[in-house]
Structures are given as structure tokens and as C-alpha cells.
Amino acid sequence: MTRAPSAPASGPGHTTPPSTATAIPLSDPALAERLADRMALVDTALDDAVASADALADDASRHLVAAGGKRFRPLLTLLAGELGDGSNPQLVDAAVVVELTQVASLYHDDVMDSAPLRRGAPAAHTVWGNSVAILVGDLLFARASALVAGLGPEAVVLQSRTFERMCLGQLHETMGPGADDDPVAHYLQVLSDKTASLLATSARLGAMFGGCGPEVVEAVAAYGEKVGVAFQLADDVLDIASSGDESGKTPGTDLREHVPTMPVLLLRQRVARGTGTADDAALLARLDGDLSDDAALAAVVEDLRAHDVLAETRALAVRGAREAAQELEPLPDGSVKDALADLAGALADRTV
């Protein structure tokens, strides 16, 4: 399941581009400035964390970091930290840990998915080959592990459990649902493990090292989990409903690669249960066929846009975003809570 955001291409050896806090809606200028300043520290620390005396390891490790990305996970860590002492220097290390973990997983994902691009740049395996890409992913996981060790035993256990969930999510996605599994429930669990687990950990680490109490820590972790699932469901909608200019990729990219997405799973469920129409069965057969031809892809995209499985997926994403916002109830009122709520609302709005 490769869903790489569009970003300017960048080659090996480039340093980390400066980040901004615009990946999270922020209406408080002072909060936005603080996060931007802290993200500059994260970018510097991230650049140091991937550096290596070995020329090949240095170039390959910097490849995806230099390609940019929204840095959403470290931003979430820093934002959650603002619920307490946002100036704690350990928050920067925690933010680097979650971004290193994310980037490392992308090296592995792209090999498994044979993805040609990541963050607008050639995927590492297309430059150095599969073995180097996998080993560099392992190297970055090792760097994340070394950094998290300095944050204490609780953070180490949290990181290891998150990594376990990410691996299980990838494993279950690769193998697909079993004969007795509900494919839709299986898919939601994959999204929760593979994607949402790291978002939950990003928020949890931020609240922990911000010095927040247990109720706040648990609230932001639950929020991160639900936001992560809602975000991926929104992506499923956008892969079909948006134009290339809006999403940064050709509509139907996941369909062409036969990547499981919720609209197709809902359609497949209807056909399997005998509740679908003959047109549903015909559309599913086309989706399962060869979509390498642009005209064939455009035709199935157009049919899915008009089908109510897309509206059903949109409703699931909106409901997930609203449930995420409800998890914020224990948080103190203020600009941080507002920003997290606005983010959940923005996720729902993406699908409209």
C-alpha cells in the first residue's frame, strides 16, 4: 500500500529541507511560530541522525529524508508536547525517533510494493537495488532505536511495540485476509497497525515528554490512532474522487496497482454476498483485470465515482475523523486542542 505524497525531487547527498508547521491547521500565530522553530531543530537533528561516515550508507540514508515530506508525525509530537512543557528538549529527540521510524518503513514498503517513486523522488530500490534499500531501512531503524534509548525504558518499550504493530500490519496486508476473515475488518486492522499505530505513538510521546498526566496522554494516543485510520480512508476516496492537480497523483493509482482500498472492498463484499447487481459484478471484474491502459483506468475511475461505495467510504472517513475529535474531550481548552480538532475536521473536509 504505497501512498507517497507529491514533493520536489531530490537526489542523494542533499541535506534535509527546512520544514514548516503547515501540515497541521494552526490558527494561533504564536503556536505556529513555536512549532516552526522547534521543527527547525528537528530537521537539524534528523540530518545528524541519518549521517554516516560510510559514503554509500550516507547517500542512501539521506535519500528519502532529503526528498522532504510533510513531517506530520514529528509535528504531531511537538504539538502534543505543547499541552504541557513544549520546551522540553527531549521532545525534539522523540520527534526525530518517529520520523526516522516512518522513513525506515518507507524503504521497506517501496521494495515490497515495487513502488517507482516516493515523495516525488525515485524510490531507493530503483537507485541502489532492493538489498541496499532494505539494509538502509534496517540502518535507520537502528538509529531510531539508539535515539529512543536515551528517552528511557518506557519510550523504548513503546517504540518496540509500535514497530511490532507496523510489521504485523505489513505482514497482514501482504498475505491478505484468511478464508474466515471479514476483508473489510481485516483492512481496517491493517490501517490501524501499519499506519495509525505510529501516529498514536507520535502523539503519546509528545504528551509524555511534555509532562502531561495519564488522562491527556491516553486521550491524544487514542486521537492519533483514529486520525490515522481516517486519513487512510480519506486517501482511498481521494484516489478516486480527486483530480491529479488536487491529489498530486493520477486518479486511480491504487486501483491500477491493485492495492486494496475501501471502495473496492465494499464492492467486492456486495458481490460476494449476492447483494450486488450485475453491473457491480462487471465493474469488479474490470477492476481485477488489466488497468495498465489509461483509458481503461479512467473508465473504472469514472464508474466508481458514480457508485455509492465511494459515498460509503467517505462516510466512514468522516465518522472516523469525528470520533478522533471526540477523544480530545479530556484536553484543556486552548489553541493546541483547537488545532487537533481542526486537523480532524480537515481530514473530513478532504473527502468532500
Q: What is the pLDDT of residues 234-251, one digit of tens each?
A: 989 988 998 755 544 568
pLDDT of 9 higher than 70: no
pLDDT of 265 higher than 60: yes
Q: What is the pLDDT of residue 12?
A: 39
Q: What is the pLDDT of residue 291?
A: 94
Q: What is the pLDDT of residue 3?
A: 46
Bridge partners of 118, per DSSP, are 121
pLDDT digits (tens, 9 = 90+) for 156-179: 999 999 999 999 999 999 899 999
Confidence of residue 128 (pLDDT cuts 50, 70, 90): low
pLDDT of 1 higher than 90: no
Are 14 and 61 within 8 A, CB to CB?
no
| Cα–Cα distance measured from residue 231 to residue 350, given in angstroms and rounded to the nearest whole number | 9
Residue showing cell 514533493 = 7
Where is pLDDT greater, at 20 or 185? 185
Where is pLDDT greater, at 109 or 167? 167
Q: What is the pLDDT of residue 4?
A: 37
Confidence of residue 7 (pLDDT cuts 50, 70, 90): very low
| Cα–Cα distance measured from residue 238 to residue 223, given in angstroms and rounded to the nearest whole number | 22
Q: What is the pLDDT of residue 245?
A: 56
What's the pTM? 0.88
Where is pLDDT greater, at 119 or 121? 121
Least confident of 20-24, 140-144, 215-219, 285-289: 20-24
DSSP designation for 18: P
Q: What is the pLDDT of residue 344?
A: 87
| Cα–Cα distance measured from residue 140 to residue 218, given in angstroms and rounded to the nearest whole number | 28
Confidence of residue 194 (pLDDT cuts 50, 70, 90): very high
b (16+ CB within 10 A) / e for 167-195: eebbebbeeebeeeeebbebbbbbbbbbb
Q: What is the pLDDT of residue 8?
A: 32
pLDDT digits (tens, 9 = 90+) for 11-54: 434 455 444 445 688 889 999 999 999 999 999 999 998 888 78
Q: What is the pLDDT of residue 226?
A: 97
Q: What is the pLDDT of residue 119?
A: 59
Are 218 and 338 within 8 A, CB to CB?
no
b (16+ CB within 10 A) / e for 53-92: eeeebebbbbbbbbbbbebbbbbbbbbbbbbbebebebbb
Where is pLDDT greater, at 10 or 105? 105
The mean pLDDT of 289-296, rounded to a whole number, is 94
Q: What is the pLDDT of residue 236?
A: 92
pLDDT of 348 higher than 80: no
Q: What is the pLDDT of residue 121?
A: 73
Are 201 and 277 within 8 A, CB to CB?
no
| Cα–Cα distance measured from residue 33 to residue 37, given in angstroms and rounded to the nearest whole number | 6
Average pLDDT, the chain: 87
Letter for the amino acid at 311? A
C-alpha radius of gyration, the chain, whole number: 20
The mean pLDDT of 63-88, rounded to a whole number, is 88
Q: What is the pLDDT of residue 352?
A: 56
Confidence of residue 351 (pLDDT cuts 50, 70, 90): low
pLDDT of 205 higher than 80: yes
Where is pLDDT greater, at 129 or 340? 340
